[in-house]
Amino acid sequence: MSKSKPAFSAIFDRDVVAYATLSLISIFCLLPFVWLILASFDKNASLFLRWPSPWTLNNYIGIFVREGGARWFFNSFVVVGTATIIVLLLAGLGGYALSRMKVWWKRPFLYTIILVRVVPPPALIVPLYKILLTGNEAVGSFVRSLVSPESVRPAMLVVGLIDGYFGLTLVFAAMQLPLALWIMKTYFDTIPHDYEEAALVDGANLFQRIRLVIAPLALPGLAAAGLFAFISAWGDFLMPLILLSSSELQMLPLGLFRAFLRVQQIDYGFLSALAILYMLPAVIAFGFARRYFVQTFSGGVKA
């Protein structure tokens, strides 16, 4: 008994130290979020953490009434949502093909495309901008031949490769596609061929097998790939800053950035409310996809 007590005491002391350390780290990490939440409801928010006096929703209302925040959200959702859908379609079909094909160039191809994620985005800005600028001139010529002069600018805001929805959407999709392909290829590797063979025996064609068998089984992988693509594109600041210049196309990251550039006085309440709204879509997306996300990286579908 006397020997077991010191051992139990040592284990208890280690647990206490571990939990105390984790608690301190958690509190330290949560403090910025606590400051954001409190400052977003504070009429006189400052740089220091304090209890709001008085509580107000004017910071949130001001984003949409004074600053045109609804347009920022619309632009962000259109570009990021469209890019995510493109990534899911291409990654789903491409991942399935890469998983089922037995060709010599598959592994070199996978390692080649993942290099897109290794190269820092700032290193790609100059060649990427030059390519998009050249393509934008061709798109502009085509649009001018189809629409009246007064309709050219609205049309280019949609289909332009520079300062347009279409160009930024393609860039976001191209940047997120390599990782999504890897996720989907790896996930399809865990799905047994027996399901497809059973559907084939029942007379299902390729389209029916994909729609009725493969797509439902691939939902966890698609959710994980879509979550990565959405969160990464949603938080991208560099590409919108370089490729967008029109106020009509301003997105949430640019709105948050330009709010810091005001020379008169920093409105911490406005910035905190905008930061909270900026985080919410990513948090909600993770909440919906969390179950599929865990399933994807814990083994996928078992036979």
Q: Which long-range contacts (CB under 8 A, 24 or more apart) does 232-236 make?
A: 232/175, 232/176, 233/79, 233/80, 233/83, 233/84, 233/172, 233/175, 233/176, 234/76, 234/80, 234/281, 234/282, 235/282, 236/172, 236/175
Structural domain spans, the chain? 1-56, 67-296
For the chain, 303 residues long, give each residue's pLDDT as a single digit of tens: 445 555 555 555 777 788 888 889 988 888 888 888 888 888 887 777 788 877 888 888 888 887 778 888 999 999 999 999 999 999 998 998 888 888 888 888 888 888 877 888 888 888 999 999 999 999 888 888 888 888 888 889 888 899 899 999 999 999 999 989 988 998 888 888 788 788 888 877 778 888 888 888 888 888 889 988 999 999 888 899 899 888 888 888 887 777 766 656 677 888 888 888 888 888 888 887 777 666 665 555 444
Output the pLDDT for position 75.
92
Looking at domain 67-296, what is its CATH homologous superfamily? MetI-like (1.10.3720.10)
> Shortest CA distance to 172 belongs to which of 107, 235, 106?
235
| pTM: predicted TM-score of the whole model, two decimal places | 0.84
Output the pLDDT for position 303.
41
